[in-house]
Amino acid sequence: MRLKNKVAVVTGASRGIGKAIAECFGKEGASLVLCSRNLDAVEAVAKPLRDQGCTVVAIAADVSVREQAENLITSAQEHFTRIDILVNNAGITRDSLLVRMKDEDWDQVIQTNLTGASYTIRAIARIMMKQRSGSIINISSVVGITGNAGQANYAAAKAGLIGLTKSAAKELARRGIRVNAIAPGFIETDMTSRLAPQDQERITTQIPMAVLGKPEDVAYGVLFLASDESCYVTGQVLQIDGGMVM
Ligand SMILES: NC(=O)c1ccc[n+]([C@@H]2O[C@H](COP(=O)([O-])OP(=O)(O)OC[C@H]3O[C@@H](n4cnc5c(N)ncnc54)[C@H](OP(=O)(O)O)[C@@H]3O)[C@@H](O)[C@H]2O)c1
């Protein structure tokens, strides 16, 4: 078990990639604090994990609201006294061309995908600094590296997350805290199922491996960065994209 005796907080764990990360971490022996905005949906992920013997705390928290993001971390610490791993996975899209983009769609995507991660990192850094250990993993995207027409808000947030990752890695390395990012390509989840079939086909032709990824493919990369196997890795962006961007 690669995460035995470790405590992990995973945001956006009610479905898709976050759910796969929670299941993967649970199998590897971690105790979990899972959140999304919908408590019933997180409980539905938590229950089968508990049935398998995993300790899981489910919390309703909107990471885009500072107080709720901070309360998530405080509750996790109160429950387990220590936190070893934070996965900032919660994310949304509000796609449109720049010239048509509404302020609220810009703001909501930046606030959730970028500022939300900064809230949890700032809250958890204090705890991990005292422990002198911790691993933080931010779920970015390949479009944070390449940009994407129709997703300027999302790409800006995901690029910002890479800057946040590298800056935090530099600030926290001497305290024993590693900070890395994962940049998934196109993964089969609710987020991508909204794409029209012709868009999914077009995207698939741009992937050398010619298939969309599965949430588990991302979870295995997160597991590596969360575990002690990556103890000398910090400030990195691991692409999990079937070769889409290289
Ligand atoms: N799917 C892809 O192809 C792909 C590619 C690159 C990167 N990513 C990134 O991977 C992450 C997961 O994506 P996914 O495809 O699994 O998306 P998804 O299926 O839409 O799931 C998103 C998760 O985030 C939660 N969430 C959204 N806003 C939240 C908020 N303000 N506070 C707390 N939780 C929130 C959702 O739960 P509630 O709605 O219940 O709150 C849900 O659990 C995102 O950061 C996404 O940008 C995905």
Residue nearest to atom 23 of ligand 1 (CA): 12
Candidate from 93, 189, 194, 218 with most ligand 1 atoms within 8 A of CB, to mutate:
189
Provide the domain limits for residue 134: 7-240
- Ligand 1 atom closest to Cα of residue 143: 6
Asked whether residue 188 is domain-assigned, the answer is: yes
15: CA distance to ligand 1 center in Å? 8
- pLDDT confidence of residue 195: 87
What is the pLDDT of the chain when averaged over all its residues?
98
The 10s digit of each residue's pLDDT in 107-143 is: 999 999 999 999 999 999 999 999 999 999 999 999 9
Candidate from 23, 37, 71 with most ligand 1 atoms within 8 A of CB, to mutate:
37
Asked whether residue 2 is domain-assigned, the answer is: no
5: CA distance to ligand 1 center in Å? 27
Burial of 100 (0-12, 13-18, 19+ CB in 10 A): exposed
Asked whether residue 245 is domain-assigned, the answer is: no
Q: What residues flank ligand 1, with Cβ below 6 Å? A: 11-18, 35-38, 41, 61-64, 89-92, 112, 116, 139, 141, 184, 186-187, 189-192
Burial of 150 (0-12, 13-18, 19+ CB in 10 A): middle
Candidate from 15, 207, 222 with most ligand 1 atoms within 8 A of CB, to mutate:
15
108: CA distance to ligand 1 center in Å? 13
Asked whether residue 162 is domain-assigned, the answer is: yes
Asked whether residue 160 is domain-assigned, the answer is: yes
* β-bridge mates for residue 34, sequence order: 10, 58
Number of domains composing the chain? 1
- H-only helix segments in 94-136: 103-110, 116-131
CATH number, residue 44: 3.40.50.720
Structure pTM? 0.99
- Ligand 1 atom closest to Cα of residue 158: 47
Asked whether residue 1 is domain-assigned, the answer is: no
Q: Give the span between the Cα atoms of 138 and 66, in whole angstroms.
A: 17
Residue nearest to atom 45 of ligand 1 (CA): 91
Asked whether residue 202 is domain-assigned, the answer is: yes
- Using 50 as the pLDDT threshold, list the residues of the chain that sit under it: none
Choose the catalytic residue: 119, 154, 220, 232: 154
- pLDDT confidence of residue 66: 98
Asked whether residue 246 is domain-assigned, the answer is: no
154 included as an active-site residue: yes
93: CA distance to ligand 1 center in Å? 9
What are the E-state strand segments in 53-167? 56-60, 85-88, 134-139
81: CA distance to ligand 1 center in Å? 27
- pLDDT confidence of residue 194: 87
